[in-house]
Amino acid sequence: MPGKPRIPRVLLVVPAGISFVVLLVALGGFLGDRVDKLNTGEEVTVVEISECFDERPPVTGRGTYCEGGWRFDDGRTAQGRIEGEKAAVGDRVFAGDGFAYRSKTMVILSLSVTVAIGLALLGMPIGLGLQYRKYRKYEARRRREE
């Protein structure tokens, strides 16, 4: 009895596998960046604020940041974007070479949200794969019973 034409398995598995690997690499890179910032960052003092912006990106909502400079406790200085609420000269912020956040909590929260979203995204293909295997077993049993 002729059935429906079947899609070759390779056309399903290869794109899914490639997508899974790309997702793992991207997630690993983003997580690695956040973990590196947590390891290398320290509390610093804001020494200059040139301008603050209150942008509202369409996807992420509120995006307040200031352009300024900060001084490390050992005397080094750096400049760049200070993410988070508006900062003022003399404020203590969490920063490193090339990055600054209003507080360390922002980096931890970003890391936590990324892990949660990553687990959900990585769990989806696994769940779909398990569901597909369950469906295939069901179909095989149904065909044997016919």
Neighbouring-strand partners of residue 42? 95
> H or E element: which one contains 14?
helix 9-40
pLDDT for 31 equals 85
Structure tokens at 11: 């056309």
Q: What pTM was computed for the model?
A: 0.68
Q: What is the pLDDT of residues 103-145, one digit of tens each?
A: 899 889 888 888 888 888 878 878 878 888 888 888 888 888 8
pLDDT for 97 equals 87
Q: In angstroms, rounded to a whole number, what is the distance separating the alpha carbons of residues 116 and 107?
A: 14
pLDDT for 61 equals 53
Q: What confidence category does residue 70 fall into, taking pLDDT thresholds of 50, 70 and 90?
A: very high
Chain centre distance of CA 45: 28
Q: What is the pLDDT of residues 20-52, one digit of tens each?
A: 788 888 888 888 888 899 999 999 999 999 988
